[in-house]
């Protein structure tokens, strides 16, 4: 599977997160994967504390499967779930007559890491929490 | 205000007859975030239509942790027997932090147990998407409606061709902004109500007839 990784250390000696690892995956990196493979890959990485950035979006069925798989993997003390955010882009039709919004990229990370997010439809800014878990319930 | 003075039983019977006008079981799922007011609305409806509530409500998120089904709402119309089911589902979320429950006075073990049960409830709610024939997506009008849970629910309903109505709930609260829900989902039917005191529920029932008949 082709993808890029943006460093760094994820775990110190005492198990605390000392850096944030971000994985960027192009749409072509996922096109040969089944929905189950995509979801498993995302949950495996996020559960380890990684942030996953995907070009494009998941299908509604994949989103539901992602939530379902996340619920199965939640460990109330160590893994409290995920946050998902999308950034949209305009897509022009073949004849250029109409525009509609599509998902340009999807950001998925551990709920206790994605501390504060400011979002517009085509812009996202996030502060990662590298210490204690303090994510809120939504 | 006692709404029963205004909404006579015949009104609800008429609504039921229209809702159940075809020969199949209509299963209306109540979906949305935890604490959006799904069970309060379900209770409002079952009390209006069959005279009893369906479940318990609470300020603590994830009070409903398994699917509650009110069935056997049976109407006989010209010899045809039809059933109307209400499916009240646990709130869907992408994360559950048990420490949030501690703020409501639960002990740590109770909070952890509630979190574990909530994860199972969310899985059950998602599975029910395959079985419902209509949905009320209940959104707390005091909160941001553009959440991943709401987007995922709507995307799955559209993919499955399941008709749905967005219910902008809690308009009795001062900081409710149902117009924001209208503006971000202009392509969908949005009805603003207060499930707690019954405001606009009559309009919601009429929209349900239009949408689900």
Distances, alpha carbon B102 to alpha carbons B57, B60, B117, in Å: 18, 10, 16
Whether B115 and B100 have beta carbons less than 8 Å apart is answered as no
pLDDT tens digit string along B74-88?
A: 433 344 343 568 889
Is pLDDT at A2 greater than 50 in this prediction?
no
Distance CA A45, CA A20 (A): 12
HSE, CB side, 13 Å, CA atoms: give it for residue A75. 6
The ipTM assigned to this model is: 0.81
Whether B128 and B67 have beta carbons less than 8 Å apart is answered as yes
Name every residue whose Cβ is closer than 8 Å to that of residue A69 and which is 6 or more positions away in sequence.
A39, A40, A43
Residue B130 is encoded by which pair of tokens?
């395959």
DSSP E strands: which ranges in B1-154? 26-32, 68-77, 80-88, 134-140
Subunit contact A68:B123, Cβ cutoff 8 A: yes
Whether B64 and B118 have beta carbons less than 8 Å apart is answered as no
Looking only at the bridges linking them, the beta strands covering A99-110 and A82-92 are: antiparallel
Residue spans per domain, chain A: 4-128
Distance CA B153, CA B35 (A): 16
Neighbour order of strands in the sheet with A82-92:
A4-6, A22-25, A51-55, A99-110, A82-92
Cis peptide before A8 (omega within 30 of 0): yes
What's residue A99's pLDDT? Answer: 65
The CATH number given to whatever domain includes residue B78 is 3.40.50.300
pLDDT tens digit string along A99-120?
A: 677 888 999 999 998 887 787 7
Question: Min CA distance, B55 vs chain A (Å)?
Answer: 22
Report the number of distinct structural domains present in chain B. Answer: 1
**B9 touches A at CB < 8 Å:** no
Residue whose C-alpha is closest to residue A65's, from B83, B212, B5, B129: B129
CB atoms under 10 Å from CB of A8, counted, come to 10
**B131 touches A at CB < 8 Å:** no
Dihedral sign for Cα B50, B52, B56, B58, please.
Answer: positive
pLDDT tens digit string along B88-114?
A: 999 999 999 999 999 999 999 999 999
Subunit contact B94:A138, Cβ cutoff 8 A: yes
Name every residue whose Cβ is closer than 8 Å to that of residue A126 and which is 6 or more positions away in sequence.
A85, A107, A114, A115, A116, A117, A118
Distance CA B31, CA B191 (A): 15
What's residue A16's pLDDT? Answer: 56
Question: Min CA distance, A79 vs chain B (Å)?
Answer: 9
Residues of A in contact with B155 (CB under 8 A): 59-60, 63
Mean pLDDT check: name the lowest of A60-74, A121-135, B96-110, B176-190.
A121-135
Confidence of residue B62 (pLDDT cuts 50, 70, 90): confident
Domain of B81, in residue numbers: 3-212
What's residue A137's pLDDT? Answer: 36
Question: Min CA distance, B200 vs chain A (Å)?
Answer: 26
Tell me what the mean pLDDT of segment B57-70 comes to.
Answer: 81
State the best of B94, B144, B157 to mutate against chain A, taking most chain A CBs within 10 Å.
B94
pLDDT tens digit string along B6-46?
A: 555 667 766 766 665 554 678 889 999 999 999 999 898 88
């Amino acid at each position: 599977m082709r993808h890029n990784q943006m460093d760094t250390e994820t775990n110190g000696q005492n198990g605390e997160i000392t850096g944030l690892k971000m994985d960027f995956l192009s749409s072509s990196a996922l096109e040969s994967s089944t929905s189950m493979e995509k979801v498993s890959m995302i949950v495996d990485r996020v559960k380890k504390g990684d942030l996953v950035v995907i070009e494009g979006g998941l299908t509604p069925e994949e989103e539901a499967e992602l939530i379902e798989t996340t619920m199965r993997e939640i460990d109330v003390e160590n893994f409290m779930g995920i946050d998902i955010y999308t950034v949209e882009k305009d897509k022009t039709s073949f004849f250029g007559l109409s525009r509609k919004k599509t998902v340009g990229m999807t950001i998925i990370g551990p709920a206790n890491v994605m501390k504060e997010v400011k979002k517009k439809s085509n812009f996202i800014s996030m502060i990662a929490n590298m210490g204690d878990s303090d994510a809120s319930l939504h | 205000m006692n709404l029963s003075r205004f909404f006579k039983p015949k009104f609800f019977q008429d609504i039921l007859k229209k809702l159940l006008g075809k020969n199949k079981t209509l299963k209306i799922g109540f979906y949305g975030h935890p604490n959006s007011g799904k069970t309060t609305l379900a209770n409002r409806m079952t009390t209006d239509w069959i005279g009893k509530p369906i479940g318990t409500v609470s300020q603590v998120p994830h009070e409903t942790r398994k699917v509650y089904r009110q069935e056997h709402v049976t109407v006989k119309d010209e010899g045809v027997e039809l059933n109307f089911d209400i499916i009240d589902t646990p709130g869907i979320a992408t994360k559950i932090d048990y420490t949030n429950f501690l703020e409501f006075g639960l002990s740590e073990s109770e909070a952890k147990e509630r979190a574990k049960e909530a994860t199972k409830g969310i899985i059950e709610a998602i599975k029910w998407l395959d079985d419902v024939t209509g949905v009320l997506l209940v959104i707390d009008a005091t909160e941001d409606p553009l959440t991943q849970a709401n987007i995922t629910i709507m995307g799955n309903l559209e993919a499955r061709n399941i008709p749905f109505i967005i219910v902008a709930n809690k308009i009795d609260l001062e900081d409710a902004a149902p117009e924001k829900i209208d503006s971000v989902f202009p392509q969908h039917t949005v009805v603003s109500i207060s499930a707690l005191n019954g405001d606009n529920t009559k309009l919601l029932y009429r929209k349900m007839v239009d949408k689900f008949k």
